[in-house]
Amino acid sequence: MVTGVVGERGQITIPKDIRKRLGIRPKSPVVMEITPQGLLIHPTVTVKINSFSDEFIEEITAKDMLKPREREKILGKWKK
């Protein structure tokens, strides 16, 4: 067990050996949740999500070589 101190701004320093073991680097995202045992902090992964405007979708579909049914099938998945 490792102990730490909460600073005046509510910050806690995770010791270097624990960060290294968990692969936590500066600016790494972590999840914090309250459990019956206390506070659980663990690394997480973020995924960038792109949002496309209808105009952009129309522009790229106008340039493609897909058959109309193929295009509708693909766009149907993206617009859901």
Domain that holds residue 67: 50-80
d(CA 33, CA 40): 5
Q: Which tokens belong to 28?
A: 């790494």
CATH code for position 34: 2.10.260.10
Element (DSSP H or E) covering residue 77: helix 68-79
Whole-Å CA distances, 45 to 22, 31, 56, 78? 12, 9, 28, 23
Q: What is the pTM of this model?
A: 0.53
The reported pLDDT for the residue numbered 50 is 83
Per-residue model confidence as pLDDT tens digits over 26-74: 999 999 999 999 999 999 988 888 888 888 888 877 777 777 788 788 8
Co-location of 40 and 55 in the same domain: no
**Number of domains composing the chain:** 2
Asked if the model's pLDDT at residue 78 lies above 70, the reply is: yes
The reported pLDDT for the residue numbered 47 is 86
The reported pLDDT for the residue numbered 13 is 92
